[in-house]
Amino acid sequence: MLETCPRCSHRLGSPLKSGRQVCANCGWSSATLASHRTAAQDASSPPAVGNLLQVCGRILKRIFQYVGSLLGLLWGKFQQSQRNPKMKPGNMVKGLAEKLSSLEQAIPTEVGDAKRPWMTLEEAFVDLGGDMRYPNSVVHSLDGRARVPFARFREFYSEAEFKAFGLEMSLERRRAKKPWLRVMAEN
């Protein structure tokens, strides 16, 4: 029996019940880590079978948890689809009728409107002959007196300014953030 640890020279305590001495300072032990089993212990119940059963039990538990959570998700989606009014057949026909009426209202009523679509500011600049890729690109007014780059064209606000370039403007469409410029109708 040793009094001090051979590794760190710390004083060792009394031996354990198994007869081993362990250093509380560095963890040194007088016995090897692998334990020697007797023939009687090997014959009674091998621990490998017990460990294997525990691992199989955990795997089965995880499988059942996964299947249960998957079924819960599917059940939740099913309940949500039952509660969703858009999925009911009667509401589907009503929704289609509403879409059809909104499309019918979007059809232009004037004969010349199909030839004069509404444009954004950039589209109108390009339609007048400007090029958005070049900052020095300009457009000309109808009378040819004004040459305006896009930076200045963007600042126009009144109908008279756009009319000089042959464009009609809709202030209501501009406020609604829709395309609001189009070519003026030919009289």
pLDDT tens digits, 86-113:
555 567 777 788 888 777 777 655 555 5
Alpha-carbon separation of residue 114 from 34, 110, 146 (angstroms)? 91, 8, 29
Q: Which residue has the higher pLDDT, 51 or 83?
A: 51
In whole angstroms, give the CA distance from residue 187 to residue 181.
Answer: 18
- For residues 167 and 158, the answer to whether their CB atoms sit within 8 Å is no
Q: Which residue in this structure is represented by tokens 């299947």?
A: 67
Predicted TM-score (pTM) of the model is 0.41
Average confidence (pLDDT) over 63-92: 80
Residue 94 half-sphere exposure toward CB, CA atoms < 13 A: 7
Query: Domain segments of the chain: what residues?
Result: 1-32, 46-88, 112-183
Q: Given this model, what pLDDT does residue 152 score?
A: 93
Q: Considering only CA atoms, which of 66, 82, 173, 80 is closest in space to residue 124? A: 173
Q: Which of 40-49, 90-99, 155-164 has the weakest average pLDDT? A: 40-49
pLDDT at 84 (0 to 100): 63
